[in-house]
Amino acid sequence: MDFNKRLQKGKFLSLLAGLAIIPVLLLAGCGEGEKKCEKGNVLSGKACITLSGEFDRMPEDMLSKKYLSNQRPTEAWYKKSEDGKVSLSFVQTTQAMKDTQLSVFAGAMKDQLSAFSPKVTEGKVNGKKVVFLEMTTPDNINPGSPNVFSIMQLSSMNDKLLITTFSMTEDVKDKYYQEGKATLDSLYW
């Protein structure tokens, strides 16, 4: 084979190698930004969240004591070591909600809950828009108990409103506030 034919064959092989590497380079960027939840640990496997080992699924009898029947969450977890003073709940609604509508919805909730002076902030969790409402409310189930501090995270999961709430009584707020924020920040689907 003469030199020119070998040179052309070499250029052709270099071109093929270059073309073969392009998909690899393009795929290398995949997976960054939004995470995908393959086998979820909450909401019937539809979502993933990082829970400390101290969280247990809330039993039905505790759910019925802690939440009024018309306000019962889809799923709830609690810290056994704190006798229910710390909990995480999920309300997966059937209400259509795109992430572009979350701010308006949060504004309406803020107005409705104005007696509790909710603090509203917007952000992103694992690439998805969320709105947080933080507020302190009285414990209507156990009068005389410490008030309840809640961090509500509003998000759009599959174009439906998802409300994820980390709650703690005021007497343990200093101990669990940061854990609550970190837990909510770990949610993805």
Taking Cα atoms as reference points, which of 113, 64, 104, 110 lies closest to residue 84? Answer: 64
67, pLDDT greater than 70:
yes
Helix (H, G, I), strand (E, B), or coil: what is residue 124? strand
45, pLDDT greater than 80:
yes
Q: Which structure tokens are listed for 59? A: 């039993």
pLDDT at res. 1: 57
Does 28 or 160 have the greater pLDDT score? 160
